[in-house]
Chains A and B, each alone.
Chain A
């Protein structure tokens, strides 16, 4: 037992902290909650940090974005570029442009650190979406969406959809030639919606394309509506994560009911803070050194000009790729038609997102698994799910490549017609091939790398209750197949039967 003196010393060490938390507890009765927060455990695995990279870049996006709003003028009023002070971008002097575009030129050339903040904002968006997509893949392939985390899967997918749109609205605001082209395509996609397309576009644009109100409205959507949705949904996402606690990979000492990792205070707090700073540092290095979206080179938007190599930012490229690959079909009868861009622009993403929203239900049926899970799957242990995930990645990759068909054609000296044809076949055959290859690879990996814990194979030495030693593969091996490998499938079937029997 400790002495009275030691106890007194200990209490003295904590006096200052106690005073601080007393102030809070007097008001919120918060001490127990603070203990659970400070002593919370987060599991340690590098892939769990990727969602955090998304969060960090989002914070950077908000900060740089707010800064940019102080200078950006969301107005499509026609002006002639003639800055009176500061740096002038000579090639555009005397040209007609919208006030919005001119204000972006001013941010880039006349505001100190303006270009840096603009480029940091754009780079942060690219990093953000990359982190979001990686995070989504990690969740899918490890089965982290399973009960009890289906709600966060749905919130996460919704967030992904909104942040894609947020990115699109963001790079559309400068009203340069590239972004105007993107808006024109979106207008066409929306206009093609059966029954209500023209009503929707007339309401959003305040009349027929291009109108004079759209940049102003887009600004409200980009600065207020989407950010409010993102922050709201993300708060729910994180609160649910906090409540349910993070999943973890199986490993020594880990069970479904415990959690192994680092304390929030001070380990995790310091590391997470450090990661946020490093993510910011990398984004600012990119912002300083790697040019992005040089709108002054593209020039102001007009409805009658466009440049080759017009591609959207990478995270919406798959949508543009779908629009390129969809054949020249549209459906006309009884005086009505369903326009061509509607199918690849809205129907395909609609189907893709519906399937993804439903996946937790599908997965539950496939594996007949209604249990709660806190421990993750290894992708190889669920070959079907992994195959579906790989098929989806191939699908998205094919569409993303399609959006660069003219650039590929130019660099590879292959006619773009051939590239598009190959990618049209690829978008159908590729996912099937991807599924089969991934499925086979998982099965092979299962055999070559049977779980040392769950399905031990020969070579592992164990000590028996009587104190004797023997090699697991010899005396007490589970059913080994003809080739000497453990039949993982059989073992899994056995486990399932066992579960059902219970």
Chain B
């Protein structure tokens, strides 16, 4: 802190302000105002809370040439590290840009410059610890406030004198604003029946990821497999889990008694919570867990949600076998698959 309690003491080393003269009172010759600016306009009185006679031209090792020299060398060393690291970057690039070596060299190049700059400012440069006025940016005086009010009102009055035009402009602006939103509607189609349907349908074969149709014998007891409607791999709502429950007793509403093939049941893989694939199957408990938000479904109980945020059961896909013995759907899902939406109902 170089604020001087007594402005007479020490004073400023700036020419033109020595001998106890106060900066701000007496501008340096040829300058419009004090070169060491304290946020005080030339026509403003000196505020009480800005000490006079502040001297910010000092720096840390000003009176210690030995330590100043060491500081200089230290800064130079930092920058030489950067210099060498920069050369290293070129070398590493040419030899294949190994990632760890590159990272270290880039880091050193940056850090050397940065640390050097900060040491320079701290040890060898002036401008520390100054108290200045916040100036007049806080608020304007009443006169100016009236002036702006008057300027604005002077323009507004003749506008307000024709309320019809004024209101019409508002209405037109509003209607045009809505019209101008129509280009956005071209971004996508209207929500359509795709919301409610998938590529499954009567007689559509269930195929594996690589397009192979399946027979019930392909799925061992406790086996689980993700299947897709043949030709409908791109349908993100269609992925379905085939699970072979074997002899495990599973409950299914009476209306769906012919929706399974023996112990093989098919449920939507798309979580009814947020649409992730609910694919973690615990064979012991016959539960499906969605890895995204831990919704848990009990396969033995019609895939009812038993834990987590999922609000609904996973929809069941009715399946049977076709004349060649391959697993096919009896129909599409009978309710919308996946997370809820407003019109789902």
- A374/B311 in contact, CB under 8 A: no
Q: Contact flags (1/0) for A294-328 with B, using CB distance below 8 Å?
A: 00000000011111111000000000100111111
B145 at the A interface (CB under 8 A):
no
Nearest chain B residue, comparing its CB with the CB of A339:
B340
Interface residues of B in 1-47 (CB under 8 A from A): 3, 15-16, 18-19, 28-30, 32-33, 35-39, 47
Of A35, A282, A320, chain B has the most CB atoms within 10 Å of the CB of A35
Known: A193-B342, A195-B342, A202-B191. A36 touches B114 (CB 8 A): no
- A288/B134 in contact, CB under 8 A: no
A275 at the B interface (CB under 8 A):
yes
- B194/A185 in contact, CB under 8 A: no
Hey, which chain A residues are within 8 Å of B341, CB to CB? Answer: 191-192, 197-198, 337, 339
- In the assembled complex, the CB of B245 is this many whole angstroms from the nearest CB of chain A, namely 21
Nearest chain A residue, comparing its CB with the CB of B339:
A188
- B277/A306 in contact, CB under 8 A: yes
Q: Contact flags (1/0) for A182-223 with B, using CB distance below 8 Å?
A: 001101110111111111001111111110000000000000
- B276/A112 in contact, CB under 8 A: no
> Bound state CA distance, A280 and B280, in angstroms?
42
- A39/B291 in contact, CB under 8 A: no
Q: Choose, from A229-237, A251-259, A361-369, the stretch at the interface.
A: A251-259
- A184/B291 in contact, CB under 8 A: no
B184 at the A interface (CB under 8 A):
yes
Q: Choose, from B97-105, B164-172, B315-323, B326-334, the stretch at the interface.
A: B97-105
Hey, which chain A residues are within 8 Å of B86, CB to CB? Answer: none
Nearest chain B residue, comparing its CB with the CB of A31:
B32
Q: Which of B116, B129, B280, B293 is within 8 Å of A324, CB to CB?
A: B293
Nearest chain A residue, comparing its CB with the CB of B241:
A304
- In the assembled complex, the CB of A293 is this many whole angstroms from the nearest CB of chain B, namely 14
- B99/A267 in contact, CB under 8 A: no
Q: Choose, from B119-127, B153-161, B211-219, B253-261, the stretch at the interface.
A: B119-127
Known: A274-B118, A277-B114, A339-B339. A258 touches B345 (CB 8 A): no
Of A38, A44, A207, chain B has the most CB atoms within 10 Å of the CB of A207
- B342/A112 in contact, CB under 8 A: no
Q: Which of A41, A271, A288, A335 is within 8 Å of B345, CB to CB?
A: A335
> Bound state CA distance, A6 and B130, in angstroms?
26
Q: Which of A260, A303, A372 is within 8 Å of B236, CB to CB?
A: A303
> Bound state CA distance, A310 and B187, in angstroms?
30
- A: interface residue count bin: 35 or more
Q: Which of B113, B280, B292 is within 8 Å of A185, CB to CB?
A: B292
- A7/B16 in contact, CB under 8 A: yes
Q: Contact flags (1/0) for B165-189 with A, using CB distance below 8 Å?
A: 0000000000000000000110111
B50 at the A interface (CB under 8 A):
yes
Hey, which chain A residues are within 8 Å of B3, CB to CB? Answer: 253
- B276/A306 in contact, CB under 8 A: yes
- A258/B49 in contact, CB under 8 A: yes
- In the assembled complex, the CB of A226 is this many whole angstroms from the nearest CB of chain B, namely 17
- B99/A115 in contact, CB under 8 A: yes
B117 at the A interface (CB under 8 A):
yes
> Bound state CA distance, A332 and B29, in angstroms?
82
- A288/B120 in contact, CB under 8 A: no
- A266/B121 in contact, CB under 8 A: yes
- B138/A148 in contact, CB under 8 A: yes
Hey, which chain A residues are within 8 Å of B270, CB to CB? Answer: 303
Nearest chain A residue, comparing its CB with the CB of B137:
A243
Interface residues of A in 242-289 (CB under 8 A from B): 243-245, 253-263, 265-268, 270-271, 273-282, 284-289
A-B contact pairs, 24 of them (CB 8 A): A31-B32, A36-B37, A44-B129, A116-B102, A191-B339, A245-B134, A258-B49, A258-B132, A273-B114, A274-B116, A274-B117, A277-B114, A306-B277, A306-B279, A326-B309, A328-B273, A328-B309, A328-B310, A330-B312, A335-B345, A336-B344, A339-B339, A340-B273, A374-B138
